[in-house]
Structure 1
Amino acid sequence: MKYTVIHILTLLLLPTVLWAQHTIKGTFSPAQDYEIALLYRVTPTVSEYITNAKINEDGSFEIKLDSTAKKGMYRLVYAIPQEDYNFDIIYNGEEDIELTFNSETGVEFQSSIENKLLTSYTNSMSMVTYSIGKFFSEQSTDTLALTKIFQTQKDTQKSYEETAKDYIVLEFIKANKPYIPEGFEDVKTYVNNLKKHYFDNVDFTNKTLQSSNFLEEKMLNYVFGMTIDSDDEIVNYKHNIDVVCKAMKEAPNEVKRILLVSLWQQMADLNFESVANYIAEHYLMDIAVELNDQELLNRLIQFSNVSVGKLAPDFSFEITQDGKNISKKLSEIEGFDKYIIVFWSSTCSHCLDEIPQLHAYIKNQENVKVIAIGLEDEPYNWKRLTYNYPEFIHVYGESKWDNEIGNDYAVTLTPTYFVLDKDKKIIAKPEDLEALKKVFDKN
């Protein structure tokens, strides 16, 4: 048998290729809660899907990485929504990775110098931080003891930086270096310096940090964890947001967008609408314009337009009056102390449960008018049901999720409620009927 040069070289290289393969394997527990693990390679702005592995009945899984797998940051997703159920993995292209994951305790690495170093560093520095907190909480006067704790913290940081030299994990260890006093500091001085120097070592332009959850976690910890001399929670959040945005000033707009959208969404989900709008108006809208991101810009504007305290977006509809169909606007309805706008659908099971209850409840409320907007693909079933609720003003929302009124009110699910005062200003956005009742019970 004759061999070509290419054939011979291929045979010689084959063992090297096989040798270069590495694995990510581990065990999830409790096993019955997991079905599949998806692996992504993460860059500052994009997560590239790599592969997936079935999670077996005993919770085990294994993912094989070939020689083309680039070193860097990877993310393992284990449930939906993906942005909430994942963890980062450092892969340097030279080692296998083995881990265990438990829903209560999180991820633990059995093998992988990179990832075990990061875990060890985090645990060691947490222990020192605990010692500092304990010293201050006990109001100890032993200044020498505190100075020794600070020295331990300094030595620990230096030791891990030296150990992690030439490893990817060094980027995280350096970025996580805390403020460390040179000597004794009282608690007030120490806390103020912690806040002042929180971002000293965090490089928002570092691509490795951008490709992980690190920057987002640092941002959230500062915004929600740091306090200023104010009893006003909203003032505190806005101040902290300004500090964070100053720290990330040199980062690319694409990175700022990712971080600030995450923070904006969290504030919106927590019903801190004024804070969410502050992020949008002072930072995110400008970024959206610079990136020509019209979708984000529209989303921010829509959210702001239907925030508590804003005048409800106006819209037109037809009503029957004196046997004639006439056109009316929300702004033209008068004579009521409060208004309820409810978006519902004849194909929504929750709506079919809550709308009859709402109709019955409103009969016992004085001077309240309900405008019920049916988001529908076709009118026939909706029209039939409207006769059951004669107390409501009914509006047909043609094209369901593409309906203009629904879009103006940023409606993404049904039923969705808005409570307005007599001037049509939004005073509440209850998440369900029970929450709506509480709004009226308070008054």
Structure 2
Amino acid sequence: MKHILFLTFLLPSILLGQHTIKGVFSPPGDYDVALLYKATPTVSKYISNAEIKEDGSFAFKLDSTATNGIYRLVYAIPQEDYNFDIIYNGKEDIEVNFNSETGVNFVKSVENKLVASYTNSMSKVTQSIANYFSQKSKDTMALKAIFKTQREAQLNFEKAAKGTIALEFIKANKPFIPNKALNVETYIKQLEYHYFDHVDFTNKTLQSSSFLQERMLNYVFGTTDQTKNDAENYRTNIDVVWDKMKVAPPKVKRILLVDLWQQMADLGHDSVANYISDNYLMDIAIELNDQDLVHTLILYKDTSIGSEAPDFDVKVKENGNLVAKKMSDLKLAKNYILVFWSSTCSHCMAEIPELFEFVKALEPGQVKVIAIGLEDKADRSKWEKTILKLPNFIHVYGEGKWDNEIGDSYGVTATPTYFILNKKKEIVDKPINLEALKDFFESVD
């Protein structure tokens, strides 16, 4: 009985303390809590959270149910931006230090240190190649020696990683290594051509990590043809990436393409974001019956630069009377500013009067402001009092606030939000703030 009781107390401690992931964040005052997820090709499963102590230290205890694979440690919000991957092989404790300036350093973990060592070693060889070409050296024997070092380093790391999860990343990262000396132009072209040679988009380990996203983005944004503009380069590179990733499952392709689409949208490359949608992503959204994504893509395209602005009803003064018209029928100015605001938004209440003064100082007939007040029904009286101070604006009452048809048609999720239209009511700019709006008009001849 004593032995049974002993095992009863011992087993939970064994199960709960099989391995640990611990470390230190610095500077410590910048972090409060860390979250740990087990990553899979399509979702991340929440495992646990750990308080980050005053000295920046944290620790996770993994029980016997923790399977090997890729884990993701999140340390700030938004989670998709502030995280890093950890290889857990189910056999070892892991210790890591993270600094906001220098990044991740694995103190303890054979597999993670192996990948880090590989990355560091190959980066040094790449730098040697760059130095050789930048010095315009004619010593082809020296270049061949660098390539030999690179080839041997790759082979040695693959041997050292045999039987580990780390091997998947070392093999996938294998660069193009020439067997002879090449000039710089040929070498760069060959690097680009062979960039995805060893990247298997069907590999579940790679799918579970951030590797495929990083590889994709590095190629799209890092491969350039000087004879093309940015948008042309991006479209060409996206086609190459698609040709490589099309073997992946639809849900994986969705994740990768949404990431790329969002990058282009965030950078203001509307035409490229819509190219991704029109040629690849919309078909995947339909295949997966992802109605939310379908709606998002359509909405973005409808409010992209160059698109005809979604129409809505307005009331304008003609001969002293308010007359109902469609926004698209207005012929009052060379440009129109649509501003979505709210009388309960303190930032709006500071910015809208500034917008009023800015527009008032412009040449007559250059700009007309259409101000859509996104308001809760209970706040209508406050809105009515506020617009009395803005007599030259065309005011539209947007009842329902975030559940308003006009706001929804423009994808508005924050106030103030600006759109600039030309006289044809085509969207010509989407300034992120009032200063950007001013810059637009100050740059117009």
Amino acid at match of 1:281: D
1:219 aligned onto 2:220? no
SS at match of 1:271: coil
- 2:73 aligns with 76
CA distance in 1, matches of 2:87, 2:195: 24
1:403 aligned onto 2:400? no
1:7-406 to structure 2, matched below 5 A, reads 7=4, 14=11, 17-18=14-15, 21-319=18-316, 326-365=323-362, 366-367=364-365, 368-378=367-377, 379-406=380-407
Does the CA-based 8 Å contact 2:372-2:395 persist in structure 1? yes
Amino acid at match of 2:78: P
- 2:427 aligns with 426
SS at match of 2:373: strand
Number of residue pairs matched?
Answer: 440
Rate the CA distance shift 1:16–1:419 in 2: closer, same or farther, 3 A. Answer: closer
What do residues 158-182 of structure 1 show as CA deviations (whole Å, max 9, x unaligned)? 1011110111111000000001111
What do residues 25-51 of structure 1 show as CA deviations (whole Å, max 9, x unaligned)? 111110111111110010001011100
CA distance in 1, matches of 2:16, 2:405: 59
SS at match of 2:66: coil
- Superposition deviation, residue 8 in structure 1: 8.2
Amino acid at match of 1:62: A
Amino acid at match of 2:419: F
Rate the CA distance shift 1:16–1:30 in 2: closer, same or farther, 3 A. Answer: closer
- Superposition deviation, residue 14 in structure 1: 2.8
Amino acid at match of 2:372: I
CA distance in 2, matches of 1:325, 1:334: 16
Amino acid at match of 1:427: V
What do residues 43-80 of structure 1 show as CA deviations (whole Å, max 9, x unaligned)? 00101110011011111111100111111000000011
Does the CA-based 8 Å contact 2:36-2:71 persist in structure 1? yes
Does the CA-based 8 Å contact 2:376-2:399 persist in structure 1? yes
Q: Normalising to structure 1: TM-score of the pair?
A: 0.96
- Superposition deviation, residue 229 in structure 1: 4.5
Amino acid at match of 2:195: Y
Rate the CA distance shift 1:12–1:158 in 2: closer, same or farther, 3 A. Answer: farther
Q: Normalising to structure 2: TM-score of the pair?
A: 0.95
What do residues 344-388 of structure 1 show as CA deviations (whole Å, max 9, x unaligned)? 011111110111111112112221211100011122211111111
Q: Which runs of 5+ in 2 are unaligned?
A: none
What do residues 235-270 of structure 1 show as CA deviations (whole Å, max 9, x unaligned)? 111111111111101001111111111111111111
Does the CA-based 8 Å contact 1:339-1:371 persist in structure 2? yes
CA distance in 2, matches of 1:60, 1:348: 39
Does the CA-based 8 Å contact 1:346-1:374 persist in structure 2? yes
Query: Once structures 1 and 2 are overlaid, which stretch shifts more, 406-415 or 325-334?
Result: 325-334
CA distance in 1, matches of 2:336, 2:16: 70
CA distance in 2, matches of 1:110, 1:424: 59
- Superposition deviation, residue 316 in structure 1: 1.5
CA distance in 1, matches of 2:90, 2:225: 44
Let me know the Cα RMSD of the aligned residues.
1.8
SS at match of 1:61: strand
CA distance in 2, matches of 1:352, 1:439: 22
SS at match of 2:254: helix
Query: Once structures 1 and 2 are overlaid, which stretch shifts more, 48-57 or 361-370?
Result: 361-370
Rate the CA distance shift 1:28–1:195 in 2: closer, same or farther, 3 A. Answer: same
SS at match of 2:361: coil
Does the CA-based 8 Å contact 1:230-1:236 persist in structure 2? no
What do residues 389-425 of structure 1 show as CA deviations (whole Å, max 9, x unaligned)? 1101110111111111111111111111111111111
Q: Which runs of 5+ in 1 are unaligned?
A: none
1:416 aligned onto 2:413? no
Rate the CA distance shift 1:79–1:19 in 2: closer, same or farther, 3 A. Answer: closer
- Superposition deviation, residue 10 in structure 1: 5.4
SS at match of 1:27: strand
CA distance in 2, matches of 1:336, 1:320: 15
What do residues 62-105 of structure 1 show as CA deviations (whole Å, max 9, x unaligned)? 11001111110000000111111100000001100001100000
CA distance in 2, matches of 1:2, 1:435: 76
SS at match of 1:178: coil
CA distance in 2, matches of 1:49, 1:69: 12
